[in-house]
Chains A and B, each alone.
Chain A
Amino acid sequence: MKLKGFGTSDTARGLTLIAPPALFALLLLAVPLVAIFAFSFWSQDFLTIDYTPTLKNYREALSEPLYGQLILRSVLIAGAVTLTTVVLAFPIAYFVSFHVPANRKSLWIFMITIPFWTSYLIRVFLWKVILGYNGVLNSTLIGVGIIDEPLTFILYNANAVVITLAHAFAPFAILPIFVSLEKIDRSLLEASRDLGENHVMTFLRVTLPLAVPGVVAATLIVFIPTIGDYVTPRLVGGPGGLMIANMIQTQFLKLNNAPMGATLAVIAMAIVTVIALVFIFLNRRWLKARS
């Protein structure tokens, strides 16, 4: 029977189809990740690479205060960006999910995602224009008469990096929270209200707990790429706002010390993985405790 033929060797067909993308990812992602791990145990003397395995790079990374400072700052900035972005994004996701009519929702989501697809480089540069000493924000505030002197704490430091990245990653936070809010069964909210809870308690005891998976996803999606951001710290961070990616780039392209750059990249990846795993673990525990 033909119809039966349609269903046979599904596994083989699936494997044939998945092979090209899987092989591509294997060659261009798995092999490079293994290579960078190997590089971190080698050393480089000008242009020749010494292949004797050594822990020298890791010792240097852990003992040299500059590296430690950059890593710590990257984690702190990425943490601050994540917190700011998620806290600012939640009310928007809530508004679109609960207060926008169903037929207008995808328009709102579309409007939120548009700025994200426009040139990242130019957007970051424009934040420099907005936050600068003679920038748009300062001249507006002085013009309106709110301040007399230009604000200087908003450019060429960690604050500028946080503001700019909170802008750049806004849709990454809004979308997962929106999706989790959309999944909430609205009758649960009615039930809570019927049982005598007010709006605030309903939000705290029903909506917020049910939105936790979205908030967790948003946190991870924002935290992971921000820790490795290069452009923003370089353009608006000043000397006090530089992050680990800037040092990785310097090691690779300026100091010609690929093994040290590889070591820093491996350490950055390790930190990201550990933080992400801890976060996922806590989330699992929390979900289990509730059910």
Chain B
Amino acid sequence: MTGRGGWLRGYAVLYLLFLYAPIILLPIFAFNDSTIIAFPLSDFTTKWFTEIPNTPALVRSVQTSLIVAVTTAVLSTLLGICAARAGARYSFPFKTPVMGFIMLPLVLPEIIVAVSMLVVLMALDLPLGSWTVVLGHTLICTPFCIAILNSAFGNLDVSLEEAAFDLGESRWSTFRLITLPLVMPGIISALLISFTISLDEFIIAFFLTGTEPTLPVYLWGQLRFPQKIPVVMALGTILVALSVVLLTIAEIARRRGIARAGGKDTGGFL
């Protein structure tokens, strides 16, 4: 087998290089003392990083994005807990179509979600703002949360809950004392994933944002001005570093959760 794995391994390394090419280039240009994003490189500089806090519009967009992302993460994880719990534990009429419909945004082009929500908001004459972005983001993040939480709730041993209930705990205290701690790693990982998706999402935010743009919408506006690009690269580097840290925590939480529930690691979020 190893002989055959040889060229496959070479291909896998090349493929990883292809996957990581943009991320490897990002910090290179972020520390490059030139407004032209091309080789050969000029001198090393950190001035693009120090320029970030001195750009008020950028700082405001980061704040908007953080508020939107945190709200989205909490809302979509709460909705995800309801759906995953209902899906794993109970049976009810029209279960498959209802669950399928909730998961639909996962396979719907985002532009469709964006324009159809825009049409309703226009028809109702409602003002656009951060809250409309939160609603749109919650819609697309909930299916991801459900996918993560499904395995957390699915791995849960029902007899543990029945034992607690049998020993006199109420339904709520059973959930709080037994179920919640067991699925907590799944919840943390769902929160982090939906936070990351919301922070990065562009199309829905682009259509539904009001006067306060989120970070990706602000960046989109900056990409037209060549002299602004290095600052975007610097900010991108920080974002990439941040996402890698958050994802690593999410992955550790997910693995710990599987280990705690005594399940087998099948790998990956999806």
Instruction: Please report A residues at the B interface, Cβ cutoff 8 Å.
Output: 2-3, 6, 10-11, 13-15, 17-22, 24-25, 28-33, 35-36, 39, 88, 91-92, 94-96, 98-99, 105-106, 109-115, 117-123, 125-127, 129-130, 132, 134-136, 139-140, 167, 170, 175, 178-179, 182, 199, 220-221, 224-225, 227-231, 235, 245, 248-249, 252-253, 258, 261-262, 265, 268-269, 272
Contact B18 A117, beta carbon cutoff 8 Å: no
Q: Which among B85, B115, B196 has the greatest number of chain A C-beta atoms within 10 A?
A: B115
When C-beta atoms are compared, the residue in chain B nearest to A252 turns out to be: B115
List of 3 A-B pairs having minimum Cβ-Cβ separation, nearest first: A228-B109, A14-B90, A32-B116
Contact A32 B117, beta carbon cutoff 8 Å: yes
In the assembled complex, which residues on chain A have CB atoms less than 8 Å from the CB atom of B126?
none
Q: Would you mind naming 24 contact pairs between A and B with Cβ atoms under 8 Å apart? A: A6-B162, A14-B91, A20-B82, A21-B102, A22-B98, A22-B101, A24-B142, A25-B102, A35-B116, A39-B123, A88-B15, A92-B11, A110-B251, A110-B268, A111-B16, A117-B200, A117-B247, A121-B200, A122-B236, A129-B38, A235-B223, A248-B115, A249-B111, A253-B207
Which residues of B from 142 to 201 have beta carbons under 8 Å from A?
Answer: 142, 146, 161-162, 165-166, 168, 196, 200
Contact B267 A35, beta carbon cutoff 8 Å: no
The residue that B120 contacts in the complex, of A32, A120, A122, A127, with Cβ under 8 A, is A32
Question: Is the CB of B57 closer than 8 A to any CB of chain A?
Answer: no
Contact A113 B139, beta carbon cutoff 8 Å: no
Contact A99 B79, beta carbon cutoff 8 Å: no
Question: Is the CB of B72 closer than 8 A to any CB of chain A?
Answer: no
In the assembled complex, which residues on chain A have CB atoms less than 8 Å from the CB atom of B102?
21-22, 25
In the assembled complex, which residues on chain B have CB atoms less than 8 Å from the CB atom of A15?
86, 92
In the assembled complex, which residues on chain A have CB atoms less than 8 Å from the CB atom of B85?
17
In the assembled complex, which residues on chain B have CB atoms less than 8 Å from the CB atom of A134?
38
Main secondary structure of the interface of A (DSSP, over half): helix
Contact B92 A18, beta carbon cutoff 8 Å: yes
Contact B268 A109, beta carbon cutoff 8 Å: yes
Contact A2 B111, beta carbon cutoff 8 Å: no
CA distance A88 to B15 in the complex (A): 8
Contact B19 A170, beta carbon cutoff 8 Å: yes
Which residues of B from 217 to 251 have beta carbons under 8 Å from A?
Answer: 219-220, 223, 232-233, 236, 239-240, 243-244, 247, 251
Which residues of B from 1 to 34 have beta carbons under 8 Å from A?
Answer: 1, 4-5, 8-9, 11-12, 15-16, 18-23, 25-26, 29
Q: Which among B78, B216, B267 has the greatest number of chain A C-beta atoms within 10 A?
A: B267
